[in-house]
Amino acid sequence: MKIGIIGCGQVGASSAYACVLKGVGTELVLVDRNAALAQAQAEDILHATPFSSPIPVRAGQIEDLHGAGIVVIAAGAAQKNGETRLDLLKRNADIFSDIIPKIFTVAPDAVLLIASNPVDVMTQMVASIARQTHGIDASRIIGSGTILDTARFRALLAGHLGISSHSVHAYVLGEHGDSEVLHWSGALVGTIPLTNFAAQVDAPITQQIKDQIDEGVRRAAYRIIEGKGATWFGIGAGIARMAKAIVHDENALMTCSTPTRGLLGTEQAICLSYPRVINRQGVVRTLVPEMNDTELTLLQKSAEILARAASDIGVLDV
């Protein structure tokens, strides 16, 4: 399956590089308004293929995405130090309005993976544009959402417990951003509830530990941006994992963002992260985990924030 990546900054390049390392796709086409950057990134990533997977990697234009099964959108203005993701809204809205119709003109069957921030509202806007211009179902527009936040949650829990992060099953729900909700009440290690497992390995989950992990997850982007200007490795790996689920028609379960109606008692379509089943058709099912009252209240607040943000740029529904 051909994969196109639009936006060849650090996130787009890291997504392409992760696809090469994981052997995802049959061809990668990198597109950027800075053609020299796209060419340089493609050439550099191509030179890694003898050490990983021999996937052709080349630079091109949107027209070269003809027949692509996946298009990753990593274009847009970068988040500045101290700036929230929602502050990026108006700076990125015009970029998407221009490129989305062009993508579906050349790749009408593609699933779009959105990595640009603020990803939830950007995903809702892309879904709205795609429906209006080409009649594309919202299930084929998938934001990376909290896939990275969930990975951070699992990694920090694993470090505390002294266990592989692959054995930790815990989700971050809602916004990819300040209002996200760590789903503590549903966390498992293997099939064992988190608190039970933690007691058995003498690593109890105290309120102090919860606060530390919550801070570690929720403020991760801000710390990384302060240290090196942006985040890219984690989200690049997350995008490659989502692409793999599509390419191999996996029916894989992961937290990501796509417009969904009927969540949290509202009929308005809201983009926020829940556990979703992903295959070659895009998102085919949304799962609603059991939550305690506190988590549910926080998730409702997160949805309200995202609904207001979408309204600010005129995206009221999909």
Enumerate the active-site residues: 176
Amino acid at 104: F
Sign of CA dihedral 272, 135, 116, 84: negative
Strand pairing report for 192-193 and 188-189? antiparallel
Contact (CB, 8 A) for 255 and 147: yes
Contact (CB, 8 A) for 74 and 11: yes
Helix (H) or strand (E) holding 232: none
Helix axes 35-46, 10-22, angle to 10 degrees: 30
Task: Tell me the two tokens of residue 238.
Answer: 């997350």
Q: Which residues contact 195 (CB under 8 A, 6 or more apart)?
A: 204, 205
What distance separates the 2 farthest-apart alpha carbons in the chain? 57
For the chain, the residue count is 318
